[in-house]
Structure 1
Amino acid sequence: MNVEYSDVRRFKPNINMRTKSNLMPWRFHWLLLGLISVFLMNCKSDAVEEQIDFDPDKPVVVTDFTPKAGGAGTNLVVYGENFGADISKIKVTIGGMPAKIIGVKGNSLYCIVPEKSYDGDIQVSVLNDNKEELAKAESKENFSYTKKLLVSTFLGKYFPVATDFVEKEGPFNDCGAFKDILWLSFDPKNSNQLYFTANYNSARLIDFDKQYVSYFRTGFDRVSVMDWKIDGDKDMIVCHNHSSDTRYGNYVFSRQSNFTQNAAIGPYARGVNGTIVHPQNGELYYSRFRAGDIRRYDFQTKEDKLVFSNPYSGVAVYMVVHPTGDYAYLIQYDRHFIMRTDYDRTNKTFKIPYTVCGAAGTSGYADGVGTSARLNQPVQGVFVKNPAYQQAGGDQYDFYFCDRSNHAIRSLNPEGRVSTFAGRGNNGTSGYANGDLRTQARFNLPQAIAYDDQKKCFYIGDSGNWLIRKIANEE
């Protein structure tokens, strides 16, 4: 509707109406403030009533708790009476193990279930200023404790101050620390011997029988990965990662010499970061950094040839072959994604690879399927058989890998879904903490991983913390 100017002039302001109208919001405002004040006073009063001091003339009582079952790291609420209000004067044990107390509110006591609380009996004690027990109560039923996978420190000494670093050989309880752990590899003929490389730093041998860590001397200034021949003595293969066009990149260290003597493999090769041996046919495949390709060497014919070009040159490509030999993963460290290459059994060679997870050239952190997942400098991985897949058939293995700059251990299932398995605990990223895989454990630039199928545990080369970590069920 159009309004003429003359019509507008008729709408003269009514002073009394405007004054009343302006007063209404202010009256409502003061009324609202009054209600809020009453509410806050009531809340404060309730809070005061809930924070009841311990009464020495009354017993401490535990009436119930929730949840009834769980593992280490479970948030537990204990209900009862006369706990007091000062958590520094309250002690809770579960299965004889001290629990961390988060808070107390009235008749509710909040705590975290500690590791190894196997027996599950819950006891609450109130202490005096000298930490002497004044009163104690026990739950009528026990907490059902479930053993779970936990991260622990397996080997090495943690140095909070980097300049205090000590490197040395020695028994498990006194073997110093290990810089830049890059690749872990079990001896296929002796599962009690675990080797690791450390880039420009010293390679080591971890001897579980002798409980001793010793240097493994290769004579190379920079060692990337290790692998093993499948025939004969199952000799060791070591990669020398250098920048010369007139030097060899792969060497065989003979078992007969106790891995002290070596012989070069194939032609000259620079920038070798990844090497694998096919688990059935025995040919060797290796990646070259600057050339940006994957090559194949045949131990029988001595033939060395190009398999395929990598999508990018100047990329460190680590490789892990599936236990069946049906395919291998190409871990594109500098480009933050993983490719898969399928094996052609007729021609005994791998085919052109394709992306299975992550986005080429895009770093980040995100769980997801295929290219929706985000990685940040992935390094070594290991295939682990998953019993849950047995009935369905098909691929029986999950792939666990170190996502270095995300400070986490990730898993990749046969459908291409990436999940975070361990690390980044307490809403953090890097750090050093043991405990529950996701809520507590933290790593610092993990690069190497190995799985002990007999002991059902993982070993992690935590390169930024200079330690070997362990992921296993509680013992």
Structure 2
Amino acid sequence: MKMKTKNHVWHFLWGLLALVGFCFVSCKDDDEGGEQPFDPSKPVVISDFTPKEGGMGSRLVLYGDNFGNNPDRMKVTIGGQIAKVIGVNNNSLYCFVPPKAYDGDIEIALLDENGEEIAYGEAEERFSYIKRVMVTTLVGETYENNTKFDILDGPWGSCGGLEKMEWMVFDPNNKDMLYVCGGAKTHRVVNFAEETLGTIKFTGEASGDCNILSFTNDGQLIVVRNRTKDGQKGLFFFSPESNFTTQVKALDARGCRAAIPHPVNGEIYTSRYDKGWIGRYNPKDGSYKMDEIQLPYGSLDIYLVIHPTGNYMYIILRNKHVIYRADYDWNKETFKTPYLACGKYQTEGCVDGVGNAVRLKQPQQGCFVKNEKYIGREDEYDFYFVDKQNHCVRVMDPYGRVTMYAGRPNGNADKGFNDGDLRKEARFNYPASIVWDEKRGCLLVGDSDNHRIRKIALEE
């Protein structure tokens, strides 16, 4: 007899009661000398199951008859994918929903000692599989317990790992090409059209320790070098016509961590470590004011991310564990005085909230992603950013509220590597960069010490 439920709350309560009952019966049967074994003279019947819908990892209880008592002699599939069986007591069975169980067919096969099928049953009703947003691995491989990796060019799956991923950016003229800044290590290029991983090298003054790679609005590649003295060239512009081999311009830039274009007006905003300055370079007339905005501190790792509308930018002070905001003055074509967005200056931690109640630990790159629930409002974007030493991805909504998005499963601060559910399973190891892949509709995370680019998207 099928047991019907009227809403999701009853689905949950019935599943909980069934699980408690299952455990009680199992213990009772154990005390009485074992559960009822499979009877080959009777059919295997699935009469009902609960809950009726869910995603990967959901707990599922099947009801019926003649399931037997040996989970090792049982194969359960949901949507053609093998489910992990936790326990069975002949009339009920407890398992986990596997990933990609899209079709929802529920089937049980009883096996003999050789693994051959001796009995079979299936449910009349289908399980409704709900896709979830998951963390997976896009590209990158390691070996020997995640301690070693090779640096190879080639197809995904045989290209080794990525050394470092301090900043990532898509070519504005070719959204199939993702450029990955390796800091003092190798710079890589991810080709989505060909599904390959390559290497890009720079010569002359542009070679060496690099803080970020960026692009102008018209597609020139900007190499941001780490220079420690005044008068040294630190910003190098390469033409797209030469496949970024011909340098067309170079600018002085001491201690620079940013070269971010305004998406509408095209001016380039830079930063200076020792002075705490944010500069403004105007490619239209060649003017460059290095101290356009002066923060009240020095010795700052300043990273910049400008809103897609150009209305404001976030100023990320990585080594001070705080993010500021500066609004754009459209009349003067520059940004106004910054003010606090989240975090507390020189105070590290991991706390969600608003404003100075938030605690961060080395935030670095961030990106804006349009959220449909804000459509029609003044600001339609969430801001996702990597919280590097907290080994996670955080998100700040348009109202300034910061919450945990991915990583630190169940609040655990340990670093590691694991794909899966955003908050229950996924682990990162010093994620340093993040970018929104608009063409494919997913977030990409440069998981530096796991030497992989991770992907956050709805299950495929």
TM-score normalised by the chain length of structure 2: 0.87
Q: Answer whether contact 2:263 2:310 (CA < 8 A) is retained.
A: yes
Consecutive unaligned residues in structure 2, runs of 5 or more: 1-23
Which residue in the other structure is 2:294 paired with? 309
- Is residue 2:395 matched to residue 1:408? no
TM-score normalised by the chain length of structure 1: 0.85
- Pairs within 5 Å for 1:276-315: 276-305=260-289, 306-315=291-300
- Pairs within 5 Å for 1:179-198: 179-198=163-182
d(CA) in 2 for partners of 1:284 and 1:62? 65
- Is residue 2:408 matched to residue 1:421? no
Q: Answer whether contact 1:315 1:333 (CA < 8 A) is retained.
A: yes
Q: 2:132 aligns with which of 143, 148, 161?
A: 148
d(CA) in 2 for partners of 1:161 and 1:444? 14
- Pairs within 5 Å for 1:300-339: 300-305=284-289, 306-339=291-324
d(CA) in 1 for partners of 2:25 and 2:405? 45
Q: 1:225 aligns with which of 197, 212, 220?
A: 212
- Pairs within 5 Å for 1:94-243: 94-104=78-88, 107-161=91-145, 164-219=148-203, 220-231=207-218, 234-243=219-228
The secondary structure found in structure 1 opposite 2:341 is: strand
Q: Answer whether contact 1:126 1:136 (CA < 8 A) is retained.
A: yes
Amino acid of the structure 1 residue aligned with 2:338: P
Consecutive unaligned residues in structure 1, runs of 5 or more: 1-40
Q: Cα 1:45–1:208, aligned 2, differ >3 Å: closer, same or farther?
A: closer
Larger radius of gyration: 1
Percent pairwise identity: 43
d(CA) in 1 for partners of 2:155 and 2:231? 40
d(CA) in 2 for partners of 1:120 and 1:134? 23
Q: Give the superposition deviation at 1:230.
A: 2.0
Q: Answer whether contact 2:37 2:90 (CA < 8 A) is retained.
A: no
- 1:147-191 CA-partner distances (Å, limit 9, x unpaired): 222221111213244664211211223211101111111111111
Q: Cα 1:124–1:370, aligned 2, differ >3 Å: closer, same or farther?
A: farther
Which residue in the other structure is 2:247 paired with? 262
d(CA) in 2 for partners of 1:131 and 1:148? 33
Q: Give the superposition deviation at 1:46.
A: 6.4
- Is residue 2:441 matched to residue 1:456? yes
d(CA) in 1 for partners of 2:66 and 2:25? 23
Amino acid of the structure 2 residue aligned with 1:48: D
d(CA) in 2 for partners of 1:110 and 1:426? 23
Q: How many residues align?
A: 431
d(CA) in 2 for partners of 1:87 and 1:378? 46
Q: Cα 1:362–1:388, aligned 2, differ >3 Å: closer, same or farther?
A: same
Q: Give the superposition deviation at 1:47.
A: 5.6
Q: Answer whether contact 1:402 1:446 (CA < 8 A) is retained.
A: yes
Q: Answer whether contact 1:460 1:468 (CA < 8 A) is retained.
A: yes
Q: Cα 1:460–1:213, aligned 2, differ >3 Å: closer, same or farther?
A: same
The secondary structure found in structure 2 opposite 1:334 is: helix
Q: Answer whether contact 1:399 1:411 (CA < 8 A) is retained.
A: yes
The secondary structure found in structure 2 opposite 1:201 is: coil
d(CA) in 2 for partners of 1:347 and 1:42? 75
Which residue in the other structure is 1:5 paired with? none
The secondary structure found in structure 2 opposite 1:272 is: coil
d(CA) in 2 for partners of 1:249 and 1:94? 57
Q: Answer whether contact 2:366 2:386 (CA < 8 A) is retained.
A: yes
Q: Answer whether contact 1:297 1:304 (CA < 8 A) is retained.
A: yes
Q: 1:52 aligns with which of 35, 38, 57?
A: 35
Amino acid of the structure 1 residue aligned with 2:37: F
Q: Give the superposition deviation at 1:94.
A: 0.5
Which residue in the other structure is 2:450 paired with? 465
CA RMSD of aligned residues (A): 2.4
Q: Give the superposition deviation at 1:74.
A: 2.0
The range that moved more, 51-60 or 464-473, is 51-60
